[in-house]
Chain A
Amino acid sequence: GQNIDQPTEMTATEGAIVQINCTYQTSGFNGLFWYQQHAGEAPTFLSYNVLDGLEEKGRFSSFLSRSKGYSYLLLKELQMKDSASYLCAVRDWSSSNTGKLIFGQGTTLQVKP
C-alpha cells in the first residue's frame, strides 16, 4: 500500500521562505510530484523529482531523498497569491504497470501580509 504524510496547515509571511515537508511509503516508487491547488480549482503541476537532490524552478524548489522517503517543497519570496494547497504525490508503479499518482492530503498554506 501507500502512505503519504504532509502537515495539514502552515502559515507564513509575505516575502519569507516556507518549507513544506512530505514523507511517503510506497512499494513501487517511481517519482514524486508537487502540485498547487487554489480553492475550488484544478491542481496544477509545480515540480517533479525522481533522483535524490534538489530541483530548482524559479521561486520554487523541491528536494527528494529516496532512502528516507522524504521530500520537501521550498517556496521563496512568498507572495499573497501563493496562498493555496500544496499536494505531494507519488507515482506508484505497482503491479498493474501503470503510473497512477497517489496524493497526500495536501498542505494548506496561508500567506499573511
Chain B
Amino acid sequence: DSGVTQTPKHLITATGQRVTLRCSPRSGDLSVYWYQQSLDQGLQFLIQYYNGEERAKGNILERFSAQQFPDLHSELNLSSLELGDSALYFCASSPSQGATNEKLFFGSGTQLSVL
C-alpha cells in the first residue's frame, strides 16, 4: 500500500458527460501528480500541484482541469467526455516539488470507461 488513495476505482459513463476523480496523497506529501495511461500509450503526465498551486502542466486537454485543496487532496475533472478518454488515471504524490532523488508514490488508479 503506497498510502495514496484514489476514488472511485472504476467509473463507467457516457460520452458528453463530466466526471470527477479524487486523490488523497500520502500523509505529509505536498505534491500531487496526475497521469493518464491508455492501452496503447505509456504513462502520460497531465498536471502537477504543489501545496495548492499548479506547478507543471503536461499534455492536458482543455476539457480537463484539476485542483488541489487546502487539505492537499486533489480532484481531476474531465468534461465533455469522448470515447478516447477511456483510460486508467493515476494519481501520485511526493514530499516536495520533486527534488532530485524524490520518488513518486502511485495510487491504485481509477479505470474510466466512456461508452
Contacts and interface: CB of A to CB of B under 8 A. Distances in A.
Given A43-B90, A99-B100, A100-B56, A105 B41 contact: yes
B101 A87 contact: no
A96 B87 CA distance: 27
The range of chain B's interface size is 20 to 34
Contacts of A106: 42-43
A97 B97 contact: yes
Q: Interface residues of A toward B: which range?
A: 20 to 34
A71 to B, nearest CB: 15
B42 A87 contact: yes
Contacts of A31: 100-101
A93 B97 CA distance: 10
Contacts of B108: 41-42
Given A41-B108, A98-B50, 18 more contacts: A42-B2, A42-B107, A42-B109, A44-B2, A44-B106, A45-B103, A45-B105, A50-B100, A50-B101, A87-B43, A89-B43, A96-B55, A98-B48, A98-B98, A99-B100, A100-B56, A101-B104, A103-B45
- Cβ-closest 9 pairs across A and B: A99-B98, A42-B106, A103-B43, A105-B42, A98-B55, A96-B56, A45-B103, A98-B56, A98-B97
7 contacts: A31-B100, A41-B108, A42-B109, A45-B105, A48-B101, A48-B103, A99-B100
